[in-house]
Chains A and B, each alone.
Chain A
Amino acid sequence: GDSVTQMEGPVTLSEEAFLTINCTYTATGYPSLFWYVQYPGEGLQLLLKATKADDKGSNKGFEATYRKETTSFHLEKGSVQVSDSAVYFCALSVETSGSRLTFGEGTQLTVNP
């Protein structure tokens, strides 16, 4: 079946530090890949996505590149802010499986001033 594995958290960084959250996947078909973010007390929001190999998704300074050869979709940001503190979820969907989302377990990020 489909699965997503994220690096274990929580992650604590100082403001302006570089962020990497690792994500790898297994899928029965050709997946689209996503990063969702959940801010404290709020619902899940789509952060970025990539639908085919070598695509780069980007939004709000975050980036992730779809690497088919390593089945990975690592999230990066060059300089984090306190406002980036949230839980980040990597996810995939396969169109032939009704496009249902399969999520990783989430990574809690805390950014200190």
Chain B
Amino acid sequence: DTGVSQDPRHKITKRGQNVTFRCDPISEHNRLYWYRQTLGQGPEFLTYFQNEAQLEKSRLLSDRFSAERPKGSFSTLEIQRTEQGDSAMYLCASSFRNSYNEQFFGPGTRLTVL
């Protein structure tokens, strides 16, 4: 399968703990996007990378959130000191330079903060 993969698919944690999610984009896709989707809502943009450079961060991305893409391939999204309001589906998408607006989504990581 050469699609976008995300790990883990589900994460349950206690409030105040740190969590890290991983996204592996489609090979050769140089853009990678993170979105967050809460129940009954559409996904909301968090941040994106072009190769290893993080080019934009949403105001939704508080300083408890950090994302990296160190070698321009996979990316990690870390949430420190989780809060119950962080419970959501975290989606990753990737796209290729010939068609940046055509994004391919992974299955998502569902985070539940107790």
Residues of A bordering B, CB below 8 Å = 4, 32, 34, 36, 42-46, 49, 51, 89, 91, 93, 95, 98-106
Asked whether A51 and B41 contact (CB < 8 A) given A99-B31, A100-B33, the answer is no
Residues of B bordering A, CB below 8 Å = 31, 33, 35, 40-45, 48, 55-56, 91, 93, 95, 100-108
Q: Across the interface, do B108 and A32 meet the contact criterion of CB distance under 8 Å? A: no
A contacts with B: majority SS: strand
- Kindly provide the distance from the CB of A88 to the nearest chain B CB, expressed in whole angstroms: 10
Residues of the B chain whose Cβ atoms lie less than 8 Å from the Cβ of A95: 100-101
Q: Across the interface, do A46 and B102 meet the contact criterion of CB distance under 8 Å? A: yes
Provide the bound-state CA to CA distance between A102 and B91, in Å.
Answer: 14
Provide the bound-state CA to CA distance between A51 and B103, in Å.
Answer: 14
Q: Which residue of A lies closest to B106 (CB)?
A: A43
- Kindly provide the distance from the CB of B42 to the nearest chain A CB, expressed in whole angstroms: 3
